[in-house]
Structure 1
């Protein structure tokens, strides 16, 4: 690896879904949105190559272990109106993207609540080896009863116990990944020695929730083990992130909220003996670009007009874990949620309600997220302001429609960030963990 750039540089990770839309509920209706290829491998190959050409640190797939049916007690709105469904299992898509690239990091969302450590460590470790050390695991504890029922449970366990189990699952996975030392292969045909058994160890992990003996059948990857991502915003989720996360995907709306979140995470990390550079804090952003400010605003207004209010409400219901057709305000929301809901999504709606004076129902119909709107220069100005203020270490870039927004971002915003010395001109590392440390 060459010498580090003398100027601090941001990290960029793309947010993806295996479907026609990723984060904007009206995105699939855009005239330039591709709808003929979301079940075909070439879509994901093209996306991976585009992101690698732009020198992104990586990408990751958001995922759900099921099909949302919280809104109105039915999956009708999601299926009929084009909701954000995981139409393919990312575990099948990511190896295709790995084979088409050499540097781009590749992340999968997998639940520590429903999967056993050996299964997780084996699949993630295999792809990490095959990709040359470019895999990330976005660790989730899951947030809906529908996922629990698909996994054979009656309902989702309480959040505290889900995080307690997640701690054990990660301890067990790390023990399994560490069950192989470096350079175990001898490959001596004449002596008949293939590998050194002294470099393979039992994990013998036993906790309250999970146990595994090992050793793992997969050797160490070029980066040792997969990078750990996390997106929890609750107090327990932040504690979990402070212990484990190397990348945090977060969703604050304003620079002040971002700065407060980052300061809290860094304080928690310091208390655990971790340095701030051990974890990249990346808020989610989407952009709407135009050749002029007025053109960008017109495009943003048009994009907003594509949002189906019922689907937007269904999306909010799903993320909050409560049917908003039966919830009128925040007082009744908590009772309706029970053990369900994503705290980060709730915070985004709360911030939207406060900033724009909206009710819960109004914020749900519009969606809590807001795009950064402007020319490539003014969007870069905004990203630079957030980054240099210390509010974050870069961004998770979520497309409004595919492939147009990511193409525009890579073609116009990335070169402007590179010109300012805020983003890499080329890769200086070969692994995802190397990219994250090179910033």
Structure 2
């Protein structure tokens, strides 16, 4: 079967995703952010279009790095999580039967037993459709919300994350698939010999188990990750089945793709065991010129202050106090994401910008055009081995995902680049297709 791309939708339980002006668009809905119907609807849209799945980006707090306050995010409508995605995902699972659903949860802030129990419960109820977007957290504000003074050092967080994932996998294997007997006549409900203690002991993590939860239809949740630092790539090569990548430019995408795929054999894994999906947003119109007009209108809605605040949050440095020539790495401490620093540098070099100028820009990788033009660009990135597919970030909700599903997906299907129907039932089956 010819190689086919993967599509995953980026979601937030708030007013906007990565485009700061998206909530201001006339087509964006706001009054339903706290309504179950909002999430049921988008789940059905994505499943009808045969998306592999969706996941919620999340933060355990309110961003307040920029100018030492959450004023920009609250006042200008930034990426805020008004609801815990782990409460929203069951609603979406109930409205669908094939769509993968994912949550972002931190190995630094949550212990492995809690993670394993919560995620596997949802995976069992959804019949094997859950993904765990593994993060180590990147802001001290999150640490403080969980009783810590600050985040541990970045490499130490990944060392701890390795042990958390190891522990979760041990816990997820507590029950053999054939442990249940369900024999009313003999009174035997399950075979206790097929339920096992984890007895995991690491340098910073330990848990006994067993979980009281049986294996799901896909065994355990799909592991997803987005780190792009050297240590983050090592972690991805060892564990990730899906990687959320963000690079500015096809050459940078290809370099990341080749590097990460080349690391997998060292961990006994094949290149096809990890799907690398590039963050992309799309503005689609009936013609290229109409799409450009739509994009210009949308971009005019974005507030520069919120763009800078978003950069501050992602790189872990207050850009309102940044002075040109300072090294971001020296200002970060234990905060920030290396991938965001790399992305900012790529934007700076490609646009011949200063760091301050780049910080004011919207994120790159926005494709603007007719359905044919958008499909052309996606196909070029996919066939050139810059990625295995795309994480689509909405500019406006729900219309960005709706228009992509309605106009672009059929064109990708016509070209044989994307599925017309699900071949499997679980998320792991979806991400291993193609």
**Which TM-score tier does this pair reach, normalised by the shorter chain?**
over 0.9
Counterpart for residue 165 of structure 1: 160
Please say which of residues 178-187 and 426-435 is displaced more in the overlay.
178-187
Superposition deviation, residue 178 in structure 1: 0.7
- Choose from 294, 308, 314 the match for 2:309: 314
Helix, strand or coil: the match of 1:215?
Answer: coil
Within 5 Å, which residues of 2 pair with 1:196-207? 196-207=191-202
Counterpart for residue 405 of structure 1: 400
Contact 1:69/1:76 (CA < 8 Å) preserved in 2? yes
Matched, 1:117 2:112: yes
Superposition deviation, residue 343 in structure 1: 1.2
Helix, strand or coil: the match of 2:360?
Answer: helix
Matched, 1:389 2:372: no
Counterpart for residue 248 of structure 2: 253
Counterpart for residue 344 of structure 2: 349
Superposition deviation, residue 331 in structure 1: 2.7
The C-alpha deviation readout for 1:304-326, integer Å capped at 9, x for no partner, is 10110111111110111110011
Please say which of residues 84-93 and 359-368 is displaced more in the overlay.
359-368
Superposition deviation, residue 271 in structure 1: 2.0
Superposition deviation, residue 253 in structure 1: 1.7
Matched, 1:304 2:332: no
Take 1:332 and 1:11, find their aligned partners in 2: how far apart are those partners? Answer: 37
Counterpart for residue 84 of structure 1: 79
Helix, strand or coil: the match of 1:194?
Answer: strand
Counterpart for residue 268 of structure 1: 263
Counterpart for residue 51 of structure 1: 46
Counterpart for residue 15 of structure 2: 20
Unmatched runs of 5 consecutive residues or more in structure 1: 1-5
The C-alpha deviation readout for 1:252-278, integer Å capped at 9, x for no partner, is 121111110010001111222210110
Take 2:389 and 2:328, find their aligned partners in 1: how far apart are those partners? Answer: 32
Helix, strand or coil: the match of 1:331?
Answer: coil
Superposition deviation, residue 367 in structure 1: 2.6
- Choose from 334, 344, 358 the match for 1:339: 334
Counterpart for residue 361 of structure 1: 356
Contact 1:283/1:392 (CA < 8 Å) preserved in 2? yes
Contact 1:328/1:360 (CA < 8 Å) preserved in 2? no
Superposition deviation, residue 330 in structure 1: 5.4
Contact 2:249/2:365 (CA < 8 Å) preserved in 1? no
Matched, 1:419 2:414: yes
Within 5 Å, which residues of 2 pair with 1:190-229? 190-229=185-224
Counterpart for residue 274 of structure 2: 279
Counterpart for residue 61 of structure 2: 66
Please say which of residues 287-296 and 107-116 is displaced more in the overlay.
287-296
Helix, strand or coil: the match of 2:248?
Answer: coil
Take 1:80 and 1:435, find their aligned partners in 2: how far apart are those partners? Answer: 39
Q: TM-score, normalised by structure 2?
A: 0.99
Superposition deviation, residue 122 in structure 1: 0.1
Take 1:12 and 1:367, find their aligned partners in 2: how far apart are those partners? Answer: 22
Contact 1:118/1:176 (CA < 8 Å) preserved in 2? yes
Take 1:272 and 1:46, find their aligned partners in 2: how far apart are those partners? Answer: 40
Superposition deviation, residue 370 in structure 1: 3.9
Contact 1:22/1:398 (CA < 8 Å) preserved in 2? yes
Counterpart for residue 3 of structure 1: none
Take 2:279 and 2:323, find their aligned partners in 1: how far apart are those partners? Answer: 28
Take 1:264 and 1:357, find their aligned partners in 2: how far apart are those partners? Answer: 26
Take 2:94 and 2:167, find their aligned partners in 1: how far apart are those partners? Answer: 29
What RMSD, in angstroms, separates the aligned Cα atoms of the two structures?
A: 0.8
Helix, strand or coil: the match of 1:286?
Answer: strand
Take 2:217 and 2:30, find their aligned partners in 1: how far apart are those partners? Answer: 37
Take 2:301 and 2:338, find their aligned partners in 1: how far apart are those partners? Answer: 27
Matched, 1:102 2:102: no
Take 1:35 and 1:134, find their aligned partners in 2: how far apart are those partners? Answer: 28
Contact 2:409/2:418 (CA < 8 Å) preserved in 1? yes
Take 1:144 and 1:309, find their aligned partners in 2: how far apart are those partners? Answer: 22
The C-alpha deviation readout for 1:383-432, integer Å capped at 9, x for no partner, is 00111111111100110010111111000100000000000000010000
